[in-house]
Amino acid sequence: MIARLVLIALFFAGSLGLATAGDQLRIATEGAYPPFNFKDTSGHLAGFDVDIAKALCQQMKTECSLVAVPWTEIIQGLADDKYDLIVASMAFTDERAQKMEFSEPYYRSHSVLIGDSEKFQDSAPAALTGVRIAAATGTIQAEYLQKAYGTSKVVLAKDQPAAQHLLLDNQADLLIGDAIELLTFLQTPEGARYGYVGDPISTDFLQSSAHITAKKGNVALIQKVNDALKQIKLSGVYDRINDAYFPFSIY
């Protein structure tokens, strides 16, 4: 009878999407998207996403391990059960929703173009015919460029830092990305010579919210994440993390 009760308890622990005793909740982030996720000078993962992940684990009273995964591999790794959650500024798309469960938004931003703001003032596709625009491979911004900016030349890089270098090295005229992430770049000595070009890009395709994701079907784990997100907002933990990276609220 006792053995049977133990088996039942283990079953329900697994069905909730949380690790059993002695295990850890495995969380993936990219590690190449500052200030949201990056590796510090010691090689440790840091950033807004990383601190949010740690706060959620503490709120859920769950031991967690964090791993950096290239963006182009991160969704497949979740499907292959290499980790339990992705906390990496993931935007919602219908295609991704077929493979993952999405949490409630944990921050909001918009996609923008940056470059020589004296030479370029309009972000509309018609105004950028023949212009080289850099983007990170596998992002919704890269996909949107290829769909909507057919008369521009899309230049893809492996990640956002590499896309920034395309702009810095004059291999691209403009760069597309998240407005908050690019604000950090614009505040660096190298990026200071650039500015926002035109208005933020507002379409149904380019979602302005970021989500935490779990494997498709793991609804119970996402519900626990949503509950924990609500609690760290109410307790002030979220705001303290926000204020450590940004001079304004991004929620």
Pairing label, strands 107-108, 111-115: unpaired
Model pLDDT, residue 197 = 97
Place of tokens 């395709």: 205
Provide φ and ψ at 153, rounded to 5°.
Answer: -105, 110
Beta bridge partner(s), residue 29: 68
Task: Supply the pLDDT for residue 204.
Answer: 83
Rg (CA), the chain: 20
Look at residue 206 in the predicted model and tell me its pLDDT. Answer: 87
Closest C-alpha to 62, from 25, 106, 111: 25
Cα four-point dihedral sign 164, 169, 175, 179: positive
pTM value is: 0.84
Q: What is the pLDDT of residue 21?
A: 39
- Count Cβ neighbours within 10 Å for each residue of 153-167 and write b for 16 or more, e otherwise: ebbbbebbeebbebb
Domains of the chain: 2-108+208-245 (3.40.190.10), 111-201 (3.40.190.10)
pLDDT of residue 16: 40
Structure tokens at 221: 């784990």
Q: What is the pLDDT of residue 12?
A: 37
pLDDT at 84: 98
pLDDT tens for the chain, 251 residues: list them: 444 433 333 333 443 445 433 468 999 999 999 999 999 999 999 999 999 999 999 999 999 999 999 999 999 999 999 999 999 999 999 999 999 999 999 999 999 999 999 999 999 999 999 999 999 999 999 999 999 999 999 999 999 999 999 999 999 999 999 999 999 999 999 999 999 999 999 888 887 899 999 999 999 999 999 999 999 999 999 999 999 999 889 99
**Type and span of the H or E element at 201:** strand 195-201
Give the span between the Cα atoms of 172 and 183, in whole angstroms.
Answer: 18
Cα separation, 46 vs 44, in Å, equals 6
